[in-house]
Amino acid sequence: MIGIRDSGLGIREETAHPDTREDAVLVLCLGNDILCDDGVGWAIADQLETDPPESRIPNPESRPMVVRRSALSGFYLLDELTGWDSVIVVDAVQTGAHPPGTVLSFPFEALGTEAGPSPHAVGLPTVVALGRRSGVPLPSSIHIVAIEVDDMESFREGLTPAVRAAVPEAVDVIRSVMVRASAPVGATV
């Protein structure tokens, strides 16, 4: 079942009914599309919605995907994560360790720190740890897809060329993670 959700920031989006959260994979695309490359998550969301994985390869074991955009960070992310069993977090990062446009993919546990290279990831490990200790029903599986960016400070819409060119690769990585998330327990993918 699909509903409309208002983020409180004037952004209305379609969302799956809460009853589908255990079966579906949430692809949570973080960012702000008026801060240049920080909008890469939303560009990836646009591409996923244009050509969702379900339409490409029908599979009875596939888990549905729910794409959600958010400009939230810190403890506000608890609202986005609560009740989902499996989440893919998509975000821009600026580490300087990789050329702009590099797509990184890793399990949440690999963050291993309370601070991150993105304004949306700062404190994410702490938020999840405190939420779990408090009994908040948070995902058992969180995967990060991060795109190294060049400019997250310019107040303008649009991505730099290297980051724009990385969107299709990031979408392919998310599709690959979705295949693994849909695989039966113990299967090798």
- 164-183 tens-digit pLDDT: 999 999 999 999 998 887 66
Which CATH number does the domain housing residue 76 bear? 3.40.50.1450
d(CA 7, CA 70): 8
- Is 189 within the bounds of a domain? no
Segment 2-48, tens digit of pLDDT: 434 444 454 445 554 444 576 899 999 999 999 999 999 999 999 99
- Is 188 within the bounds of a domain? no
Distance of CA 160 to the CA centre of its chain: 20
Q: What is the pLDDT of residue 75?
A: 83
State which of 46-60, 124-138, 139-153 shows the largest mean pLDDT: 139-153
- Is 148 within the bounds of a domain? yes
- Is 60 within the bounds of a domain? yes
Cβ-in-10-Å burial (0-12, 13-18, 19+) of 187 comes to exposed
- Is 38 within the bounds of a domain? yes
Q: What is the pLDDT of residue 1?
A: 33
Domain extent for 148? 2-182
Contact assessment for residue 73 and residue 32, using Cβ atoms and an 8 Å cutoff: no
- Is 168 within the bounds of a domain? yes
Segment 95-136, tens digit of pLDDT: 999 999 999 999 999 987 655 555 444 468 888 988 999 999
What region, left, alpha or beta, does residue 179 occupy, with left being phi > 0 and alpha being psi -120 to 50 degrees? alpha
Number of domains in the chain: 1
- Is 74 within the bounds of a domain? yes
Contacting residues for 176 by C-beta, under 8 A, at least 6 apart: 105
Contact assessment for residue 77 and residue 68, using Cβ atoms and an 8 Å cutoff: no
d(CA 113, CA 102): 21
- Is 187 within the bounds of a domain? no
